[in-house]
Amino acid sequence: MKRNLLKLTIILASTFLAQTMKADVLVGPGGAFQPWTASVLGPQSAPTNNGVPYWNNLSGDGATANIGWCLTGGGACAIASPPGAISYYGTATKAAVQNMNFVSTGNPATVTLLQQLTNQVGSAQNSGYNVFGWYTINANGTIASTTPLWNSKTDSLGETATFTPGAPGTKYGLFLENIQGGGTNVEADYFWFMNSSSDYTAGPGQNPVDGLQHFALFSGGGGTYYAGIDDTNFGNEDFNNMVIKLVSAPEPRTLILSGTGLVLLGLCAFRRRTNPALAST
């Protein structure tokens, strides 16, 4: 009986770890994680910027500033702890997946602002700015609700936010709203979603949306994703205007501490049952 109690505790701890270690997955029609190496970017002295993969384009911020350079480091786009040439989500022809989303495990997700190479910061010279957030998706694929988290006018690098998308199986994604000429009679608001078929524009100065995917998603493994976002309608597709890190599973250290705590509780209970003197303390 006593040994069974200890075994039960260990089983419960293992089950707890298995459940909490599950990470949100990224899905999309025709999409899969595609490997690449830093060589596709070319040397710093002569970057390729040839559109292969779809995010490898010349940036207005410099020849070595697209999202590929952000992730590998050494170029004009710097982020904290660059993960290297991690797999991107795309088609077999290295094109963008036009409609993609995450599927939640029910665990919280934490996003961190790593970089924003954009002039959309609400300055006196440029009243445009970006609003970043997340959204949920209805069963029919339409946008259910949007939740803003921060914006480029007031928030700085290192900003973090944690949210819970919903019950296991909930479909969700990230969005960016690009507001140009805010508060004027020529204001134009562009809403970019990972589900790019839901992109739309509003405001008196609006133009039709470009029909392009404005997100580039990369997998860091273990429920960690990196997102590069292009904020401009008919932009240069450099995906560096906002760079986000998303972690959809607890850190291994947290899991180990939690699981160890459960095992220790079981051991304490086991010792108290086998030693009556301890049971009275």
Q: Report residue 223 as tokens.
A: 């429920």
Q: Tell me which H or E stretch contains 274.
A: helix 252-274
10-residue averages of pLDDT along the chain (281 residues): 49 42 92 98 96 97 98 96 98 98 97 96 87 97 97 95 97 97 92 98 95 98 97 96 92 44 45 55 53
What long-range pairs does 41-44 form, CB within 8 A, spacing at least 24? 41/68, 41/69, 41/72, 41/75, 44/74, 44/75
Give the model's pLDDT for residue 56: 98
Alpha-carbon distance 67 to 121, whole Å? 19
14's CB contacts (< 8 A; 6+ apart) are 259
pLDDT digits (tens, 9 = 90+) for 84-113: 999 999 999 999 999 999 999 999 999 999
Give the model's pLDDT for residue 21: 58
280's CB contacts (< 8 A; 6+ apart) are none
Alpha-carbon distance 1 to 99, whole Å? 54
Nearest partner of 236 among 128, 157, 94, 118, judged by Cα? 118
Give the model's pLDDT for residue 125: 75
Q: Between the CA of residue 272 and those of 187, 263, 279, 281, what are the distances in Å?
A: 70, 14, 5, 9
Alpha-carbon distance 94 to 83, whole Å? 20
